[in-house]
């Protein structure tokens, strides 16, 4: 499945005010109440009242926001840490209260200066104001609290160098007030473009390449696309890097299939970056927040790159879903295969199989692997990856995984292990009921959203299964996101 797991660089809607958020009730940790002390400063603008208050943070939400109490309400404040006293601005409008951190009066020992100069504007990372130990503790406590109904998870697997890990980046271009071309990322949940020259969790080579493209745009008279007017040409630049192979793909996402001077542009880009192994043009002429369109043309190279994961080679296309942090992915998949307890005779279902990564890795220890995926492009890639690695005991099918398993059960066929790696929304009840109907001895549930994983595991536990073990993995350092793999067995 062409899943999106990534962390904070996606378009949405947001107020132009920095750091201003509506409060909402979320699962919290260490949320002891401490009444805030309003100061004398008060302002009223129409129906909106603004108050400056001194508050103390008593814990963190699952999204890493500080918990404070004010006027009998529990509020959230971005970038505030437990134990800190701070001055905040509260803007009240009806029953909604927005908060903004003004200054920290008494700092936590866990607070550090963010290494990224764009941190407070971008929002793609949420935890850079915490030191590494505090980030680790926050993620462990979050997982422990969520998974409490099923037991205690193992200690989280962290990353030695928690920067430069993303093997995929996409950059957007626009014009500043001086009508100069800028490039960067959207602020979290918005279409506000933050001009930058480096993202510290991107592969450095990816940032070098898009910077070169930005500099080339003027000489090639290439205008950035404007979402409001529908004018302009270059919408995004997508860069994928093979961390092991060193191969690099560049995708120019454009608003029109008419690319004047494309041969000279490609030639100039290749001259500046001979390490690029393929360049594609993707046409997206729709009024949409989706990055990629349906029309694609290879301008240079074979149109894919290859990378190695857990000793196997995988072809990666522009639209392929491929885990963005291969270093941590190897830890995640190794744990998933360990939980599957394969001896060489088992039939394994790889649900939501994508391009076949985990299924093909499992095939080395299984009797037979059956991968099922709705996305036809991903299935094509999975079949190609199977052939590339000489795998004879894996088959891949396009279709709905739940329906596929129901049909297997109706035919009296069995599966010993189901490996499931759904999108952030988790699985639906139809899929889970099909797993229960097929009745595998073991389920390995890989999740990029532990909140929906808890919901799905609760269903499985209520229908004849028990959770035997859980392993969180920090796939996205500097962000609040964490992956968790669970071993679930028949009672």
Q: Please give the chain's pLDDT, 491 residues, in tens.
A: 444 333 334 333 333 333 333 333 323 344 333 334 444 344 445 567 889 999 999 999 999 999 999 888 899 999 999 999 999 999 887 778 899 999 999 999 999 999 999 999 999 999 999 999 999 999 999 999 999 999 999 999 999 999 999 999 999 999 999 999 999 999 987 888 999 999 999 999 999 999 999 999 999 999 999 988 999 999 999 999 999 999 999 999 999 999 999 999 999 999 999 999 999 999 998 888 788 988 999 999 999 999 999 999 999 999 988 999 999 999 999 999 999 999 999 999 999 999 999 999 999 999 999 999 999 999 999 999 999 999 999 999 999 999 999 999 999 999 999 999 999 999 999 999 999 999 999 999 999 999 999 999 999 999 999 999 999 999 999 999 999 999 999 99
Give the distance between the most distant pair of CA atoms in the chain: 74
Q: How far is CA 161 from CA 6, 200, 203, 240, in A?
A: 18, 11, 12, 20
The reply to whether 448 belongs to the active site is: yes
377 in a labelled binding site: no
Residues 355 and 321 sit within 8 Å (Cβ to Cβ): yes
Is residue 429 packed enough to be buried (19+ CB in 10 Å), middle (13-18) or exposed (0-12)? Answer: exposed
CB under 8 Å, gap of 24 or more: what pairs does 326-332 form? 326/167, 326/243, 326/244, 327/159, 327/165, 327/243, 328/157, 328/159, 328/165, 328/473, 328/474, 328/475, 328/483, 329/475, 331/157, 331/473, 332/157, 332/446, 332/473, 332/475, 332/483, 332/485
Residue recorded with tokens 């037991």:
151
76 in a labelled binding site: no
| List of domains in the chain | 21-110 (2.40.50.140), 147-159+325-490 (3.40.50.150), 168-308 (2.40.50.1070)
Write down the pLDDT at residue 52: 93
Three-state DSSP at 312 gives strand
Pairing of strands 368-373, 21-22: unpaired
421 in a labelled binding site: yes
Question: Which segments within 95-167 are labelled E, that is strand?
Answer: 96-106
Write down the pLDDT at residue 92: 82
Write down the pLDDT at residue 71: 86
352 in a labelled binding site: yes
- Strand-pairing partners, residue 166, are 202
Question: In degrees, to the nearest 5, what angle opens at C-alpha 188 toward C-alphas 186 and 194?
Answer: 35
Write down the pLDDT at residue 94: 76
**What's this model's pTM, rounded to 2 decimal places?**
0.87
Residues 229 and 287 sit within 8 Å (Cβ to Cβ): no
Among residues 57, 116, 122, 448, the one annotated as catalytic is 448
Question: In degrees, to the nearest 5, what angle opens at C-alpha 51 toward C-alphas 49 and 53?
Answer: 160
Distance from chain centroid for Cα 300? 29
Write down the pLDDT at residue 26: 28
Nearest CA to 101 among 142, 63, 66?
66
């Amino acid at each position: 499945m062409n899943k999106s797991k990534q962390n904070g660089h996606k378009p949405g809607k947001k107020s132009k005010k920095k750091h201003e958020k509506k409060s909402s009730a979320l699962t919290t940790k260490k949320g002891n109440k401490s009444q805030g002390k309003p100061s004398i400063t008060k302002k009223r603008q129409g129906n909106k009242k603004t108050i400056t208050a001194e508050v103390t943070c008593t814990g963190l939400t699952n999204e890493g926001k500080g918990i404070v109490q004010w006027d009998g309400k529990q509020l959230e404040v971005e970038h505030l840490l437990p134990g800190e006293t701070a001055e905040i601005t509260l803007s009240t409008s009806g029953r909604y209260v927005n908060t903004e951190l003004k200054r920290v009066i008494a700092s936590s020992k866990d607070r550090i200066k963010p290494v990224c100069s764009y941190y407070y504007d971008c929002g793609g990372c949420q935890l850079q104001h915490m030191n590494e130990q505090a980030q680790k503790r926050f993620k462990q406590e979050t997982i422990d609290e969520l998974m409490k109904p099923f037991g205690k998870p193992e200690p989280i697997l962290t990353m030695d160098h928690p920067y430069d890990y993303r093997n995929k980046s996409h950059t957007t271009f626009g014009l500043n007030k001086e009508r100069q071309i800028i490039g960067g990322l959207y602020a979290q949940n918005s279409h506000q473009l933050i001009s930058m020259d480096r993202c510290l969790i991107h592969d450095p080579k990816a940032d070098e390449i898009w910077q070169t493209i930005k500099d080339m745009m003027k000489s090639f008279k290439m205008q950035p696309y404007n979402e409001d007017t529908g004018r302009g040409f270059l919408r995004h630049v997508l860069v994928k890097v093979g961390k092991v192979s060193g191969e690099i793909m560049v995708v120019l996402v454009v608003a029109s299939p008419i690319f004047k001077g494309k041969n000279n542009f490609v030639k100039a880009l290749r001259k500046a970056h001979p390490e690029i192994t393929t360049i594609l043009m993707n046409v997206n002429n729709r009024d949409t927040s989706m990055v990629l369109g349906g029309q694609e043309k290879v301008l240079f190279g074979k149109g894919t790159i290859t990378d190695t994961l857990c000793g196997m080679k995988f072809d990666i296309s522009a639209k392929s879903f491929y885990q963005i942090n291969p270093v941590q992915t190897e830890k995640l998949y190794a744990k998933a295969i360990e939980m599957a307890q394969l001896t060489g005779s088992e039939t394994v279902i790889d649900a939501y199989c994508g391009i076949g990564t985990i299924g093909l890795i499992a095939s080395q220890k299984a009797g037979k692997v059956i991968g099922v995926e709705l996305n036809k492009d991903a299935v094509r890639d999975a079949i190609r990856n199977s052939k590339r690695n000489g795998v004879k005991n894996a088959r891949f099918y396009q279709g709905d995984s739940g329906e596929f398993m129901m049909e297997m059960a109706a035919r009296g066929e069995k599966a010993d292990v189901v490996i499931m790696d759904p999108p952030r929304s988790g699985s639906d009840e139809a899929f889970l009921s099909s797993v229960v109907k097929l009745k595998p001895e073991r389920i390995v549930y890989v999740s990029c959203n532990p909140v929906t994983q808890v919901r799905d595991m609760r269903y499985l536990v209520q229908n004849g299964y028990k959770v035997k073990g859980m392993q969180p993995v920090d796939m996205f350092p500097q962000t609040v996101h964490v992956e968790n793999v669970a071993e679930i067995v028949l009672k």
